[in-house]
Amino acid sequence: MGVVNVTPDSFYDGGFYLDPVRAIERALSLVADGADIVDVGGESTRPGSDPVPAEEEKRRVVPVIAALRERTDALISVDTTKAEVAEAALAAGASIVNDISAGRFDPRMLPLVAGSGAGLILMHMQGTPKTMQINPHYEDVVAEVKDFLAERMEAALASGIRRECLVIDPGIGFGKTVDHNLLLLQNLSSFRELGRPVLVGVSRKSFIGRILNLEPSERLEGTIAAAVLALERGASLLRVHDLPAIKRAVTVAEAILGRTRSSGSPKGTQTPYVH
């Protein structure tokens, strides 16, 4: 999954793709470099960030998604917590909703996704983007994140979403200390027990910066290390900014792991496609 943030303030690519023409070019180049899914977002959720009004978020993402639908067969996901934005994005051609609140911030989200037949990514977050990094606390981070995801899967199923439409994500960096993130990555394989593909977003995140004492622009190698180890521990999807560097690293890692890809679909692993 390649990331396109149509925002002025995302922690890494903020302002690069606010212009829709640049966002579309960026998305197409991610696809050309091997992304199976393009994740289009119109709201930064970096620590301390404030929500963006739905109208503004739609104004950012909908034209980009509509243009991409015309120009590529790649799957398009919309990174939003708002049903109104998701609905407009699905109408414009997205087929997956990536909801970092796992359907908790907007009570209309799960029914909307159920009615549309879209895929849904359920991510764990403690708190909200505004507050999540103030003092994250867990007794047992792996068990608590896993229980949360199991509960959100049940909520999604109860609202009528089909199990095969669900993807789960432990939410690296969302209400977690460096140690919490490392524990989640160390124990990623246990999330496979929930029976759905696991997505991981480590790309250029601050735990890498804290380990290496480097800014987001200098975190590519750290991202590659984290992405490859996440893959080895059972991640089926990697949400990344850097194609093709990650793709090359992943292709070699998959060959070593005996999961060689042919024509874009993995063998011997769960499919990365949501539906």
Residue 165 touches ligand HH2, criterion: CB under 6 A: no
Count the residues of the shown chain that bind ligand HH2, applying the rule CB under 6 A: 21
Residue 44 touches ligand HH2, criterion: CB under 6 A: yes
Residue 100 touches ligand HH2, criterion: CB under 6 A: yes
Look-up of token digits 């407009």: 88
Least distance (Å) between residue 258 CB and ligand HH2: 27
Q: What is the torsion angle, in degrees rounded to the nearest 10, for the CA atoms of residue 52, residue 68, residue 88 and residue 103?
A: -70
Exposure string for 146-180, b = 16+ CB within 10 A, e = fewer: bebbbebbeebeebebeeebbbbbbbbbbbbbeeb
Instruction: Tell me if the bond preceding 51 is cis, omega within 30° of 0.
Output: no
- Among positions 35, 121, 235, 274, the unique one binding ligand HH2 when judged by CB under 6 A: 121
121 or 226, CB closer to ligand HH2? 121
CA 44 to chain centre: 13
Distance (Å, whole) CA 275 – CA 37 = 12
Residue 45 touches ligand HH2, criterion: CB under 6 A: yes
Token readout for 154 is 């049940």
Least distance (Å) between residue 109 CB and ligand HH2: 14
Q: What is the torsion angle, in degrees rounded to the nearest 10, for the CA atoms of residue 166, residue 189, residue 79 and residue 246?
A: -130
Distance (Å, whole) CA 133 – CA 113 = 29
Q: Which residues are catalytic?
A: 205, 239
Least distance (Å) between residue 262 CB and ligand HH2: 27
Contact 100, 45 (CB under 8 A): yes
Residue 46 touches ligand HH2, criterion: CB under 6 A: yes
Distance (Å, whole) CA 209 – CA 221 = 11
- When CB distances to ligand HH2 are compared, the closest residue is 201
Binding piece for ligand HH2, criterion CB under 6 A, among 10-18, 28-36, 56-64, 131-139: 10-18
Binding piece for ligand HH2, criterion CB under 6 A, among 21-29, 107-115, 140-148, 167-175: 167-175
Least distance (Å) between residue 232 CB and ligand HH2: 18
Residue 94 touches ligand HH2, criterion: CB under 6 A: no
Tell me the residue type at 132: M
Residue 95 touches ligand HH2, criterion: CB under 6 A: no
Least distance (Å) between residue 66 CB and ligand HH2: 21
CA–CA distance from 250 to each of 12, 43, 233, 273 (Å)?
22, 28, 13, 17
Per-residue binding string, ligand HH2, 190-229, x by CB under 6 A, is: ---------x-x----------------------------
- The contact set with ligand HH2 (CB under 6 A) reads 3, 5, 7, 10-12, 41, 44-46, 79, 98, 100, 121, 123, 169, 171-172, 199, 201, 239
